[in-house]
C-alpha cells in the first residue's frame, strides 16, 4: 500500500532493509524513504550488525531523514525515539541502556549540526523515567559499571556484601535464593559485560517505570516556552504554536508595518522532537 500510494502520486520513493541500500540513498533524489531493518525492534547499539547486511545507527537514520525532509520549504515534523533505552532498563541491563542513551546523544548532535537554530525547534524529552539510580556515596571516579567503594565505613552494607554503583529499585537483579543476595564481587569479571544485570531491591521479572518528573530541553524558535515544570500536554501546544499549526496563528502572519518589514520565520519552522525513550517517523507539514 505504501509503495502503491507513492507510485499513484508520482513521488520519488525508496524502500530499504539493510545498510548497503540505506547508504546508497541520495537524499536529493528521494522524497519518501521507508526503512524496515528488523522484523521487530532494531538491535541494541552494542549488538548492531554494522556490515552491509546490517542496520544503520540512530544518528545515521536522523541524518538521512533530515537531509530528505529539509528540502521542503514549508517545513517538517520529525519524531525520533531511542526506544531501546527503555528495553535495556526493563531487563536491568544498565550498560545497554547507557549505550543507547549515548546513541541518542549522537542523534541530537546530528540534528543540531544539520539544522538552523533560527528556524528549527529541537525538543528533547522522555515520556517516563525508570527506577534507576546511582547507589549512595561512591568515591569520586568510582567505576560507573563497577561496585561502590564507600567513602566511610558506616556506609558499608550491613550484610557485608558489595553492591553495584548503578541500582534498580526493582527488577531481575535480585537474588531470591536461600544464600541471600549475590555479591557483585563474586562476578567481578562480568560487571562490564553488556548483559550484566545490576542489583535491584525488589525481585521482579521486569523492571518498572518510575513516577518522577522527566527533563525536557529545547533549542530554537519558541524554545523559551520550555521552562520550569509543565504538564505533558503543554509540550504539544508549544510545538504547534512554533510551527503555526492548529490554533493561535496570529504570530505567524506576514507583517508590513514600518517596524516589521519582514516575513515571520515561523511560516517555515521546522520541528524536531527527539524522544528519549522503536519509533521513528516523519511527516511534511
Q: How many beta carbons lie within 10 A of that of residue 69, not counting itself? A: 23
CA distance 34 to 280: 10
Contact, 146 vs 165, CB < 8 A?
Answer: yes
For the annotated binding site for Mg(2+), the residues are 81
Beta strands in the chain (DSSP E): 13-16, 32-35, 76-81, 120-125, 132-134, 166-171, 200-203, 216-219, 270-275, 280-284
CA distance 46 to 23: 20
CA distance 265 to 261: 12
- Strands 132-134, 166-171: pairing is antiparallel
For the annotated binding site, the residues are 81, 86, 90, 127-128, 209
Q: How many beta carbons lie within 10 A of that of residue 18, not counting itself? A: 16
| 222 phi/psi in degrees, rounded to 5 | 70, 15
CA distance 232 to 21: 38
CA distance 9 to 4: 9
For the annotated binding site for Zn(2+), the residues are 86, 90, 127-128, 209
Amino acid at each position: 500500500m505504501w509503495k502503491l500510494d507513492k507510485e499513484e502520486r508520482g513521488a520519488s520513493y525508496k524502500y530499504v532493509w539493510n545498510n548497503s541500500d540505506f547508504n546508497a540513498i541520495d537524499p536529493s533524489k528521494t522524497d519518501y524513504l521507508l526503512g524496515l531493518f528488523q522484523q521487530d525492534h532494531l538491535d541494541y547499539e552494542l549488538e548492531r550488525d554494522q556490515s552491509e547486511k546490517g542496520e544503520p545507527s540512530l544518528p545515521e537514520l536522523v541524518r538521512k531523514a533530515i537531509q530528505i525532509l529539509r528540502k521542503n520549504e514549508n517545513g517538517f515534523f520529525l519524531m525520533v525515539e531511542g526506544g531501546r533505552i527503555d528495553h535495556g532498563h526493563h531487563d536491568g541491563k544498565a550498560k545497554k541502556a547507557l549505550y543507547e542513551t549515548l546513541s541518542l546523544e549522537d542523534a541530537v548532535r546530528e540534528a543540531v549540526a544539520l539544522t538552523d537554530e533560527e528556524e528549527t525547534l529541537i525538543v528533547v524529552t522522555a515520556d517516563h523515567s525508570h527506577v534507576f539510580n546511582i547507589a549512595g556515596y561512591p568515591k569520586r571516579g568510582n567505576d560507573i559499571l563497577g561496585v561502590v567503594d564507600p567513602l566511610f565505613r558506616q556506609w558499608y552494607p550491613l550484610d557485608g556484601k558489595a553492591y553495584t554503583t548503578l541500582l534498580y529499585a526493582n527488577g531481575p537483579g535480585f537474588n531470591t535464593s536461600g544464600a541471600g543476595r549475590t555479591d557483585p564481587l563474586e562476578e567481578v569479571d562480568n560487571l562490564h559485560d553488556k548483559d550484566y544485570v545490576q542489583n535491584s531491591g525488589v525481585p521482579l521479572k521486569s523492571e518498572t517505570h518510575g513516577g518522577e518528573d522527566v527533563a525536557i530541553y529545547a533549542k530554537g524558535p519558541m524554545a523559551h516556552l520550555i521552562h520550569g515544570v509543565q504538564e505533558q500536554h503543554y509540550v504539544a501546544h508549544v510545538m504547534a504554536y512554533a510551527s503555526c499549526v492548529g490554533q493561535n496563528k496570529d504570530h505567524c502572519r506576514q507583517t508590513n508595518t514600518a517596524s516589521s518589514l519582514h516575513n515571520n520565520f515561523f511560516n517555515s519552522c521546522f520541528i524536531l522532537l527527539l524522544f528519549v525513550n522503536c519509533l521513528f517517523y516523519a511527516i511534511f507539514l
